[in-house]
Structure 1
Amino acid sequence: MGTSRIGLVRDCGFSRGQRDQSLKEELMTSEYQKNSITLSGAVAMGTGVMIGAGIFALTGQIAELAGPLFPLSFVVGAIVTAFSAYTYIKMSNAFPSAGGVAMILKKAYGPTTVAAGASLLMALSMVISESLVARTFGTYSLQAFGGDPDSVLVPILGVGLIVFAFLLNASGTRSVGMFSIVMAVLKVGGIALFGVAGLWASGITFEATGGEMGAGGFIASVALSILAFKGFTTITNSGAEITDPHRNVGRAIVWSIAICIVVYLLVAFAVSSSLSLDRIVAAKDYALAEAAQPALGQTGFYLTAALALIATASGLIASVFAVSRMLAMLTNMKMIPHSHFGMSGTIKDHTLIYTVVIAGFLTVFFDLSRIASLGAFFYLVMDIIIHWGVFRHLRQEIGAHGWMLLTAIALDAGVLAAFTGMKWQSDPMIVVIGIVGMALVFLFVGIFLARGQVSRGGHEHS
């Protein structure tokens, strides 16, 4: 690579600084397995993360906030997500890379505290989602065997799943891609069948009509619905490994979101057809299994629990794959510190271990509601920062419409404000934890960068 690569760069008339940066990025990219993820594999990874968290972990909590019209929260969440996805698709088509969100932020803001802090917020929101899915796995596992959903076994089973995800990811990229495809087919097909069967068995009569729906609660619920769709960023973060990334990253994102909204609506209407709103809220950590019993009997209950285990397992595996690579990219870009702690192996091996350790900690010490809330705070703030950076510095370069970017910012900000206000009334401590956590993230990377670990330079796009 060395001589021919340098010669090519010189022929293009690049400056020495540009040659150094180009070679550096080439070396960083070479650590990843190009063309190791097909279009179908990328779609499977995206839907794997989304469906694992969106349906089994969040349906009941969305219903608690939104009231009897909670299925519509998924529709609004998909609309908000579509505006957000526009930014990621435009950037990924122009600059596909592993750790794509981090690269977007660096290109928009340069190697600054804002870019590093927002990238770390994204990584942490993904780790938070992993703990959310892990606890959901534990809850549905106990439900299948008649155990107590509040048992200490819930986090233990969740940590067990995280360890399994670590072992599969450590075995290599192709193992993850193949597993994701198989699991995605099983769970998308199975969950869609559950939705159709539930609606058919109930006669398409809606039980979830009790309770009140306030505008504030409904808008706040959209924050969790957005969290149910944010798994599409898994595709962005694996851009360098997807075949024909300039075309397939965007196509995979669109297909993943489209598949998920169909599945979400089928299941949401099936749940609302089988259970009253009070029962959905009471069983919010295992709402789908509870809804399957009156509609489909005991067999349906067990089949739904089995689907939950498949969906959460595959979702966690795909998420661990993406976030560990994003952390590795941040480390390669010298935007966050790194320590080997005496371990052998590559940076990707180390960040994989850090990912599962943090996810395991959150699984043990946080419940589902607080995990979901913290993930929503981190993700929405990061998303706003990305849209603003692209609007200010990159929209002309990538051919993006400014009004689309500003609309995405407005939608995110409105949902975040409503969700924060709702949580401040019901659980102010998680709002405080979220604010303090974000402040500490930016302080942490600010101190690191201030020590001169990153050379001061202009924006990459300038």
Structure 2
Amino acid sequence: MSEYKKNSINLPGAVGLGTGVMISAGIFALLGQVAAMSGIWFPIIFIVGCIVTGFSAYSYTKMSEKYPSAGGIGMYLVKAYGKGTIAASAAMLMALSMVINQSLVARTFGTYTLQLFDVDTTTSIFVPLLGVGLLIFAFIVNISGNSFIQTFTSSASLVKIIGLLIFAIAGLWVADFALEPADIGNNPPNPDAINYVAAVALTILAFKGFTTITNSGSEITKPKKNVGRAIVISILISLAVYVVLAWAVSANLSINEIIKAQDYALAEAARPAFGDLGVWFTVIIAIIATITGIIASVFAVSRMLAMLTNMELIPHKHFGMPGSIQKHTLVYTIVIAMVLTIFFDLSRIASMGAILYLVMDMMIHWGVFKHLRKDVGANPFIVMSAFIIDGIVLLAFVWVKWLNDPLIVLVSIGTTLLVFISLYFFLKKKQLAERKMNN
């Protein structure tokens, strides 16, 4: 596996990494779930999610301009909180949310691929099996080096974006470009205000792929300029794709049909407009999108974990494996993602990822506001606004999930507590050992 190499990722490559993650899980796995929570107004929720993400991205951009690092978010947290439990735990939550995203993308790959066959994806063992196969492929690609990764993800990202736009424009053309909400169908959902706010959490998850760029900061050419540019460009490209696709889906399916097929809503939307040919086209684009998403996400999270390990903020075991720490963290990333892919469905994977990410995101904003706003030249109003908005969205999402699926809320809370407690004792033990050596 390649070591960190400065100037090994150019601006298009960085944008490719960001859009590679966002446009994979974001639209294919989450569109139906957003519709289930927000009803006919789900395309608007993606716009709201982009605005919220814009506030959040401000803190990351200011940090990356001041401290470009291959450790990305891990390094930012250390700058804000020092080498302690808070920084280590928040960074681990981010890493876990990224690994959860990988399992989300992997199961999406399996779900869409099986649309080519007469298979019930809700019970089929082939969904997790195909997902695991994709993760193995991502591992092989990631040991091939940065130049191949950025070339592959950038080229494939361009192909899938063009393909999705063709699908969206064709779907809107069939519907005479009717700019109106989806047909409500029979017994439609009747979301209240808190459901609309909670739905924003899933759209934030759809946009959070921009953090992939920050985790490769020191490897990007002219990072003080290009990291921020890559973040803005990738978010805007993703927003354009999301909104047009959501509009196309709402024009061809009723809201009940979207919810029923929420794990494969795009493929289902292609059926009434274009028949089986449209389904094949959509599935092929989904396969390309999920492949690039997995590769880009694994690329980023393995480097982030390696940085945290080198900073001695998290424990590390070789388990007899040869090679560098980066290679070991790549293996850990893939293995954890495989376990999640096998045992969790798309809805629960997305929910857990959203909760862990929002907790970490709030810690980033608080750290910048409290400790670094002058150092990085951040506007305190924007940073604090991002913190408050995240908190509102998180509380709404947890409340809605508690009413409908309390288990995933308990698992998310338990995971968060486990991370903080285990790293607290790890760092305390490390400090005691260092004191004994010094004495």
Q: Report the TM-score when normalising by structure 2.
A: 0.96
The alpha carbon displacement at 1:363 in A equals 0.0
Q: Residue in 2 aligned with 1:334? A: 312
Q: Residue in 2 aligned with 1:122? A: 94
Q: Which one-letter code corresponds to 1:351 in the other structure?
A: T
Whole-Å Cα distance in 2 between the matches of residues 310 and 452 of structure 1?
Answer: 44
The alpha carbon displacement at 1:213 in A equals 3.4
Alignment counterpart, residue 200 of structure 2, candidates 203, 210, 222:
222
Q: Residue in 2 aligned with 1:159? A: 132
Contact 1:207/1:274, CA 8 A, preserved across alignment? no
Moved more, 178-187 or 199-208: 199-208
Q: Residue in 2 aligned with 1:459? A: none
Q: In the TM superposition, what are the counterparts of 1:66-105 in structure 2 within 5 Å?
A: 66-105=38-77
Q: Residue in 2 aligned with 1:249? A: 227
The alpha carbon displacement at 1:31 in A equals 4.3
The alpha carbon displacement at 1:452 in A equals 2.4
Q: Which one-letter code corresponds to 2:414 in the other structure?
A: V
Q: Residue in 1 aligned with 2:164? A: 191
Residues 319 and 455 (structure 1 numbering): CA distance in 2 closer, same or farther, change over 3 Å? Answer: farther
Contact 1:38/1:242, CA 8 A, preserved across alignment? yes
Whole-Å Cα distance in 1 between the matches of residues 78 and 270 of structure 2?
Answer: 46
SS of equivalent to 2:5: coil
Whole-Å Cα distance in 2 between the matches of residues 298 and 122 of structure 1?
Answer: 39
Whole-Å Cα distance in 2 between the matches of residues 394 and 275 of structure 1?
Answer: 48
Q: Which one-letter code corresponds to 2:399 in the other structure?
A: G
Q: In the TM superposition, what are the counterparts of 1:308-347 in structure 2 within 5 Å?
A: 308-347=286-325
Q: In the TM superposition, what are the counterparts of 1:151-300 in structure 2 within 5 Å?
A: 151-205=124-178, 206=180, 208-210=182-184, 211=188, 212-300=190-278
Q: Residue in 1 aligned with 2:331? A: 353
Aligned length: 428
Q: Residue in 1 aligned with 2:378? A: 400
Alignment counterpart, residue 368 of structure 2, candidates 379, 390, 401:
390
Contact 2:183/2:253, CA 8 A, preserved across alignment? no
Contact 1:69/1:213, CA 8 A, preserved across alignment? no
Contact 1:74/1:261, CA 8 A, preserved across alignment? yes
**Structure 1: 5+ residue stretches without partners:** 1-29, 457-462
Contact 1:68/1:213, CA 8 A, preserved across alignment? no
Whole-Å Cα distance in 2 between the matches of residues 66 and 376 of structure 1?
Answer: 16
Whole-Å Cα distance in 1 between the matches of residues 291 and 24 of structure 2?
Answer: 8
Q: Deviations over 1:169-218 (max 9, x none)?
A: 01111111111011111011111111111111111334623132321111
Q: Residue in 1 aligned with 2:437? A: none
Contact 1:34/1:240, CA 8 A, preserved across alignment? yes
* 1:365 is the counterpart of 2:343: yes
SS of equivalent to 2:314: coil
Give the CA RMSD over aligned residues.
1.4
**Structure 2: 5+ residue stretches without partners:** 435-439
Q: Which one-letter code corresponds to 1:143 in the other structure?
A: Q
Whole-Å Cα distance in 1 between the matches of residues 430 and 403 of structure 2?
Answer: 42
SS of equivalent to 1:394: helix
Q: Which one-letter code corresponds to 2:128 in the other structure?
A: P
Contact 1:111/1:454, CA 8 A, preserved across alignment? no
* 1:141 is the counterpart of 2:113: yes
Whole-Å Cα distance in 2 between the matches of residues 147 and 178 of structure 1?
Answer: 34
The alpha carbon displacement at 1:266 in A equals 0.4
Contact 1:334/1:454, CA 8 A, preserved across alignment? no
SS of equivalent to 2:34: helix
The alpha carbon displacement at 1:433 in A equals 0.5
Q: Residue in 2 aligned with 1:410? A: 388
Identity value in percent: 58
